[in-house]
Amino acid sequence: MARTFCAQQKDFFTLKTFQDLGLPQPLVASLDAAGFSTPTKIQIEAIPQLLKGRDMLGIAQTGSGKTAAFGLPILAAIMALPGRPRPMSARALILAPTRELAVQIDEAMRSFAGSAKRISTVLVLGGVSRHAQIQKIAKGVDVMVATPGRLQDLVDDGKVWLNETRFLVLDEADRMLDMGFIGPVKAIAKGIGPRRQTMLFSATMAPNIAQLAKDLLNDPLRVEAAPQGS
Ligand code: ADP
Ligand code: MG
C-alpha cells in the first residue's frame, strides 16, 4: 500500500521532459519550437516503450496527445535508418478514418520532423486527384498518412508496395470500423506482413476493436489516457 502511494507521488512530482523519454535531440528541438515543453501522460507512457519497438493498444480520447505519442517514436526510428525509402514504398503508414484527421496528422508529423533531417511525407486521400499522390509515392516516402479506401485503390492498382513498411498506425480505429473500413484495414495490414511495429488507437474497446487488436497486435503495451489536463 505504502509503496503504491510512494510510486504515485513520485510520478506526480517528477516532471518529465521529451529528452527524458529517449527522443533524439533534433526532435526535441522541433517540439520546443512547436511549444511542446512537457509530454502528456500518454506520451510519457508510450514513447519509451514504442522506441523499444513494442506494439501498442491505446484506449484514449480526443485531446490526449496521441499524435505525438505514436508519431515521435516513428520519426526517431526513421531518422536512424540509412539511405532513402525504396521507390513506391512507405516506411511508415498511418491510417485515419477521415480526410480532416489525416490532414491534421500529416501536418503534425511534418512539424515534428522539422528541418533536422529531410523526412518525406505523402497524404493519400479520397476525393482528390490520384495523380500527385502516385507521383510522390513513386519516389518512395518515409511517412504516408492515408484514409483506407484510397490507399486500398492504389495498392490494388499496383501504385504502392507495402512490403517495405515497418510501422503501422491505426488512429481512431473505432471510427474506421464504424465507417465500414474493416475490409481495407485488414487487407492493408496483411499486405504489410508481420515484420512491423503496430499501434492501434481507439476511444472505446468495443468487441470488434478487441478482435482487431488481437488480429493485428503482437503482445501490445496497453495504455489508457484521458484528455490532456483532466
Ligand atoms: P489526440 O490525437 O489524442 O486527440 P492530439 O495529438 O491531436 O490529440 O493533440 C491534441 C492537441 O494537444 C493538439 O493541438 C496538440 O498540438 C496538442 N499537444 C499534444 N501534445 C502536447 C504537448 N506535449 N504539449 C503541448 N501541446 C500538446
Ligand atoms: Mg488524434
Q: How far apart are CA 230 and CA 210, in angstroms?
A: 26
Judged against a pLDDT cut of 60, whether residue 6 lies above it is answered with no
Q: List pLDDT tens digits, range 114-173.
A: 976 689 999 999 999 999 999 999 999 999 999 999 999 999 999 999 999 999 999 999
Give the C-alpha separation, 28 to 133, whole Å. Answer: 30
Q: Is the CB of 68 inside a 6 Å radius of any atom of ligand 1? A: yes
Q: 37: alpha, beta or left, given left = phi > 0 and alpha = psi -120 to 50?
A: alpha
The Å distance, Cα 5 to ligand 2 centre, comes to 32
Q: What is the pLDDT of residue 3?
A: 46
Q: What digits encode the pLDDT tens for the residues 49-67?
A: 999 999 999 998 888 999 9
209, three cell numbers: 476493436
Q: What is the mean pLDDT of residues 174-201?
A: 96
CB-ligand 1 contact for 30 (6 Å cutoff): no
- 84, 156 in Cβ contact below 8 A? no
Question: Ligand 2 centre from 66 Cα, in Å?
Answer: 6
What does the pLDDT look like over 67-119, one tens digit per residue? 999 999 999 999 999 999 999 999 999 999 999 999 999 999 999 999 766 89
Q: Which ligand is nearest to the CA of 67?
A: 1
